A and B are shown apart, each in its own frame.
Chain A
Amino acid sequence: MRKLSRYLNLYRVFVIQYVKTTMQSKADFFIGLSGFLISQAAGLAFLYLVFEQIPSMQEWNLEQMLFIYGFAQLPRGIDHLLTDNLWMVGWQMVINGTFDKYILRPMNIFFQIVCEKVQFDALGEILVGLILVGRSVAKGTVQVTPVRLLFFIISVSAGTVIYTSVKLILASIAFWLKDSSAIMTTAYEVADFAKYPIEIYAKPIQAVLMTILPFAFVAYIPSTFFLSNANIWKTIGAECAVAAVIWIIAYKLFQKGISMYESAGN
């Protein structure tokens, strides 16, 4: 318990420090935020333009598509907000040897990496996600009860864990390859598949999305619980199980990677 409060305290200190540095240029913050907002707007406009032409896509109408789309943004955005610094591990830290500093400090290494940066650009994604989900509630596309709200929060949290774990695995590859940024961006591209119902894809792609890069569990599969009352164990239950398993794999790999790490000499 004391350990937890120590870490929470440290997190606060780190975040305040980071906010101070970003405050130096407020313009950057707004540029980053609007960048992600505009990307989201483009994705939404695509759906609107397409649904001008067709009544529904397979069994999904526009409202349901928007819910899935918005729901998918939430775990993605939260992960982006909190753990964006993992990119730096795959991209620069291992190859430049700046990873050294984490090993020297008496703190959990994963914690140190994550708390060093809060990516406020991600608020654009979270905002769009919240608006779309809120809209679906207002329009009656999904019903709200306290229990369902609880499941929603659990599902978003588990989805965030899946995102973070995938990112951690890919960043950890840098301990072997020195630079894994190209692999990371590729995997992120795969995450875009999750914004739409996965039934539209070919079987091999579906298989990848359910196993190696389990982005299907982040939004689409749990959203069927909220939209069409699918079995909870097969949706949110499965999502939580996947999240737990992939987190354990990711963290083990990360620890193994650190033990392999040799600093860049100078």
Chain B
Amino acid sequence: MKKYFRIYWPFAVNQIKSNFVYKGRFYLFILRKFLGMFIYYYLWMAIYASAPSGQLGGFSRNEMILYVFMSYTISDMVMVGISSEIGHDVTDGSVAMSLTKPISYRARLVFQSLGIMIYRAVVPTLFIWIGLEIYKVCKLGMPVTSPVTITATLVSILLSFFIYIYFDYCFGMLAFITTYIFGMNIIKNAALNFLTGKLIPISFFPAVLQRIFSFLPFTAIIYVPVMIYLGKYSGVQVLEQLGKQALWVVMLSLLGSFLWKRIEKRIVILGG
């Protein structure tokens, strides 16, 4: 385990460093994400202003404010995609190089994304969260989030990261079938915005769809950690949800290994 970290950790560090270099681009990236958050913030404010009762889909107005900001920050942090990189590697053939090296292709990609995740967690997200917490207590008059809830949320977010990355790895395997991974990614992102609960809380959906969603890994990526943060789950439910997330990590990781083995057998790379 220790050796494993010694081998792959530098990939993460490398990403953290290179992210620090392209700061200008990064600030614009943050600004962009802020814009998306504020569109939905204002939209929800207008929606609640016209609501017949103070509750919509089981959320009060204040909870919805927190929901919007948390779901956006969490999605930016954990959804560090690797499928487009796999797409690149496959189309230009450099995936062949990865096959010859004595390190795991997937582990390398996972650690690179881990580096990006850590960077994003520290640079904007932490500050947004602190700001949000202050806003929550001073402006919205809600109680301070307990350390237990914070810990549970952070654990949940870490698991989300692994669910997403292992899912995206499986998704990236599509690059062996189609070269238009850009288009595939647009489809994926549109679907995920919905299925993860980023666009609208899952509780707004009809009961049938909610049941179907509960059999998919996606709600565990954003909806679950936000609900834990909002204190919508009881103690037992929190443990249950975390267990479910962990299960998804294991299952998707096994699926990824399986797919890779299948593809490794039939892969043909031309030129050299």
Which residues in A have some Cβ–Cβ distance to B below 8 Å?
Answer: 25, 27-28, 31-32, 34-36, 38-39, 41-42, 45-46, 49-50, 52-58, 121, 182-183, 185-186, 189-190, 192-193, 196-197, 200-202, 205
Contact = CB atoms under 8 A, between A and B. Distances in A.
Contact of B186 (A39, A50, A190, A205): A39
Interface string B189-228: 1110110000110001100000000000000000000000
Interface in B14-42: 24-25, 28-29, 31-32, 35-36, 38-39, 42
Contacts of A52: 204
Given A182-B25, A189-B32, A205-B38, A58 B46 contact: yes
Interface stretch (B50-58, B114-122, B126-134): B50-58
B187 A196 contact: no
A46 B190 CA distance: 12
Interface stretch (B5-13, B149-157, B175-183, B231-239): B175-183
Given A50-B204, A54-B56, A182-B25, A35 B50 contact: no
B46 A42 contact: no
B22 to A, nearest CB: 9
Nearest to A183: B28
Contacts of A36: 186
B49 interface: yes
Contacts of A200: 42-43, 45-46
A113 to B, nearest CB: 20
Contact of A202 (B42, B184, B199, B205): B42
Contacts of A58: 46, 49-50
B138 to A, nearest CB: 19
Given A28-B178, A50-B47, A182 B199 contact: no
Nearest to A192: B39
Contacts of A189: 32, 35-36
A121 B184 CA distance: 12
13 contacts: A28-B180, A35-B185, A38-B190, A42-B191, A55-B52, A56-B50, A58-B49, A182-B29, A186-B31, A189-B35, A193-B35, A196-B43, A200-B45
Contact of A46 (B36, B187, B199): B199
A27 B183 CA distance: 10
A39 to B, nearest CB: 4
Contact of B28 (A27, A39, A182): A182
A49 B47 contact: no
Given A193-B39, A202-B42, A186 B32 contact: yes
Given A38-B190, A58-B46, A46 B52 contact: no
